[in-house]
Every structure is written in C-alpha cells, then in structure tokens.
Amino acid sequence: MKTKSLLSSVLVASMLVCGATTSALALGGPSGAALDYQVAGKLGGVYMDPYGLSPLSAIIMNGGYVIEDAAVKILPKKGGEILSYKVGPQSLKTYGGIPVVGLYANYQNEVEVEYTRVFKGEKEKIKESYKIYTAPYYQTMIGTSGANAAPYKEVKVHKVDSEFKDRMYLVNNVIGKAAGRNSNFVWNNPIGGAAEWNYLSNVFVVDTQGEVRWYMNADKLLNFNDMYNTGIMMGFQQANDGAITWGFGQRYVKYDLMGREIFNRRLPLGYQDFSHSLDNMQNGNYLIRVANSNYKRADGKNVRTVRDVIIEVDSASGKVVDEWKLYDILDPHRSDVIKVLDQGAVCLNVDESHAGQTISEEELAKLDTSDKFGDIAGTGAGRNWAHVNSVDYDPSDDSIIISPRHQNAVIKIGRDKKVKWILGAYKGWKGEFKNKLLTPIDAKGNKIICEDEFTKCPGYLDEKGGFDWTYTQHTAFRIDEKSKKGLIYITVFDNGDSRGFEQPALASMKYSRGVIYKIDESKMTVEQVWEYGKNRGSEWFSPITSLTRYEADKNSIMVYSATAGMQYDLSKGKMLGAPKPEIDEFKWGETEPSVQIQFIGTGSAYQAFPISIQKAFEK
C-alpha cells in the first residue's frame, strides 16, 4: 500500500510538471496565466505605490481595456476639500491605468473615478468608487530624544480663506544628522567642500487642514553608505509637466508624483556639493548651485570651494552649457557681512554655544592664513564666503539672479559674467561694484537717504514701514508674470540676521520679512512695494532658511517662515524652544494672510510652496 501511494504521488507531480490538465493549475502556469489578485471594480487591481517611492499613491490598473477621459475624486475627511483632477491620455498610457495621488496616510480612502472603457469597439462610460487603505507615514529616524515618526507633532490651522481651501503645499524640512547613517565621510584631496553638511531631510505635501497627502520615501531613494547617493534633499520645484526636480549631495534628479524616475544624475565631475537651489529655466535647461571640485588658490593651495558656483546643464544630455564662478566674478574677500553674522546659526550649521557671537577681524585674518577649509564662514575660495541659496533665470536679458546669504545682497549677473546690479546695503562694496549698487526710492520716485555708509535705511528702525535692505536673505525670485525687460519685481525672504550690519542688544529685537522690490534697471533704482513680518517680531523671526514666492494661479504671495521663533538664551548658550515653521499666503497687495498654518515639532525646516496635482496628470 505504501508503494502504491508513493507511485500515485509521483504520477501527480509528473502531470503538474508536464502540463497535464488538472484543476490545480487554476492559479496559473503552463496552461495560461490567471488573475489571483483582487479586482475591486470594473478594471484591474489596485497597484499601491507602484515605484516604491510614493506610498500615498496608487494605480487603478486598466485590466487590459483601453481607457479614455478619466477623472479622479478623493473624498475628504470631515471638514476637508475634495481633491479632484483629470487624467489625460498620455498619463493613462504611461501608468497602465488611472493614477491616484493625494491619499490620506493610515486611512481607508474613498476614491471616485469616472472614465470611458473601450472594449471590442464599444465605449462605456463608467463611474465607480474604490476603497483604498494606506499605511502610516514613514520617515527615517535619527535616534535622538524628541524625534518624531511623523513630519510634525502638531499643526495649527489659524486661517484659510475660501478661495485657498483647495491648496496643497509641498513642504521640505530637515530632520537632522543620524549617528552612523549620514555623517561618515568628508572630502579629501583636495580638502574642503561641504560633504559634511549631509542632514536627513523629508518632503511631503499637506492640505489646508494640515493632513499629509503625499510624501517621498527617502529611504528607498538614498543610500547613506554611498557618498554619491546621499545628501540633504533641497531645491524642490514643480516643472511645467507637473513632475518635481531637486537635488541632494552629489546628484540632481527629476521624478513624477507617482515616484517614477525621469532622470537621476550625478553632478558633472568638475563640481560637487549640490544644495539649496535647482532652477528650471525657461529654455528647458537647469541652473544648479554647486561648487568647484578642485580650485587652485593664489597661494598655491588646492581646495574644494563652498556654495559659490552656478552651472547651467542641458536638460537632455546633462552636459554643462555654462558656468558662473562667483569667486572670479565677485569679491570673495569682502568680510563686512562675515564679521557680523550670528555664529550660532550660519544656515543649518547651528551651534547653540556660539549664539549671538560674531567673528573679529583678527580671528578672520588668522583663519585666512590657516589650512582650515570647508563649510565654515570665512573669506576666500575654499570657505563659506558666498553661501548662495537661490538662483533664478531672467529670460528677458539672459541673466541670472542670485541670493548670496553671506553678502547681504541680491545680485544680477549677465551671461558675460559681469555684475548688472546689486540690491543690498552699500557697506564693504569697493571698486567697480560701487557703480552697480541700486539707489532706493519711495513710491513717488524720491531718493531715500540711508545712514552708516548707506546701510541703515528708514525701515531699519520704523516699525510701521519704510525701505530696508535684506540681511542673510533666502530666495530671490523674479516675478515673471509682472516683470518685463528693464523693469522687474523680485520676491525675497529677508531673514534679518545682522540687520544694519550689527547684532542687536537683545535677541528678541530681531525680525524677518517677506518683501517685494521693484527694480528699474535703466535708472538703477529699487522701490520696496510690499513687506510682511516686521509686525510679528521675534515670534516670526527665522534666522535661517525660508522662502518668499509669487504664485500666478491665485495672484498671491507665498511666504514660509521656516525657523520662526528660533531664539537663544545668550547667557546660557541654549536655544529657547524649537522653531515653529509657518505657511502664510497673501492675496496680491494684502498685508494680512489668507492662509496661516503653523507646524510644531518639525525640527528645522527649509522651504514650502503650493503644488498642483492636476498639472501632474492633465496630459
């Protein structure tokens, strides 16, 4: 009996291998494939996070049918807004179904879809509903006390006007450094650079209720043990095709909101250390803020430079079209700003023990003769003398506009590498640069007189208005929709550290501003046409990071005070509480926000701006 049983087993196994007909093959195999996953509706299955980078996305697979005229609605939680968008024919083909983006995390989402299904020459219009459950939000942990498993501990929605309720904001924050994960290497041979500036970061999208609706799983994108595949993610922009571009460490990349890679490129070998800014130019190329991988100084030392080179790369090939070496264009030894910076917060190099301290002429001179190079505030190539945190293209005259934080100025430079104008306090500018300084005027065209080498203007002290320059500013963006050749509007986030080229008696006296300037390039004048933040005082003061930007779709001004309220107890050398980043969006010309959303428990933050889901899928 045992022999007979064994023989039967062998015969059955042989039939399975050889493809003999048996009901056991219904799961698929040589007799043909089978659908062994759940088909929830009248198409195919629901494919969650199809590219492994966008956990709050899915594809309702087409099931082998041709689909036309698709539209998606994600029903909101109580009090929220419906997220709806149309899906064009290119997107339907690209994703093999209907792409769904904007799901809530850790929630059973109700998604309504409408589409035309084509089968055997017949077209059928269908409307149906799907239940899609998602996993909780995930981000890399740094292992320190007080760290979050979410992008923030709390969100306070103070105000949202009706016309802004459909807003979605992409937020790019900084988590910090994790022992053993992203702090294991520095540049050598030559020395210097900013490879140590390698913080963990996150990027996510929130709606106007403060709910996370999209995020990038950075753990699937980065490899912290590979120095060419890690780095702080910064410089996010949404391109005209709806995809997002940004960079990290030694790479610049483009992905769509589904997580599909469009390109992921290493920086050209002559350059290193991307951070802060990647601009999508109107000609289709990219302006990238990098640094030089090998520069020979006048003293014969070879160094890696720090945050002081702009390159234009061809979007298709990645080849370098042009470069702006700022140490050859500007004065890298202008020390007036470096000497008055708060050494406790030099961008994201936050050192509480040096809060409120500055560096002396003697200390700076000693540093300049030393072999200490890298991401340290100082003068000359190889140190952080410029700290360019944004670059924007002006297509009207083929120029770039840069924001070098450590020069307290916004500067326009032509394709010929000549400075066209300098928007900033006059102190410390010498030689040919003196003729490039803009003259401040009021709304009637009258010249505004500023004191202390044309540095302290009426707005420096006047709480209610007046003109002022920017100090340690972030983001200088041309408002393309309101500008023309020779007459341009510029949005800037004026952080305000070293205002008036000094540190105030009390840290609580510091303030930041979102500000708009109008520049008449033929007359070389600048008029301040809007500001916000001075009235908020120290609670809204952001010593580092942040953004001010025009949004054409709603004729509005977006401001992100990314480290709002970051203050220090100078007597103890300690931070007084964590920053509370704040999104504020204003109707054009208004000085009270239409949107005010505050985040608590985020760590340090960088930038935020509105993002369009519709733009990502309309074609």
Active site positions, annotated: 474
Distance in angstroms (rounded) separating the CA atoms of residues 497 and 512: 8
State the residue for tokens 């105000």: 159
CA 132 to chain centre: 29
Burial group, residue 302, by CB count within 10 angstroms (0-12, 13-18, 19+): middle
Burial group, residue 447, by CB count within 10 angstroms (0-12, 13-18, 19+): exposed
Range 82-118 burial, b when 16+ CB lie within 10 A, else e: ebebebeeebbebbbbbbbbbbbbeeebebebbbebe
Distance in angstroms (rounded) separating the CA atoms of residues 472 and 583: 20
Asked if 525 contacts 438 with a C-beta cutoff of 8 angstroms, the reply is yes
Range 492-509 burial, b when 16+ CB lie within 10 A, else e: bbbbbbbbbbebeeebee
Q: Which of 363, 367, 365, 413 is nearest to 388 (CA)?
A: 413
Asked if 550 contacts 557 with a C-beta cutoff of 8 angstroms, the reply is yes
State the residue for tokens 């983006």: 101
Asked if 234 contacts 33 with a C-beta cutoff of 8 angstroms, the reply is no
Q: Which H or E run contains 11?
A: helix 2-18
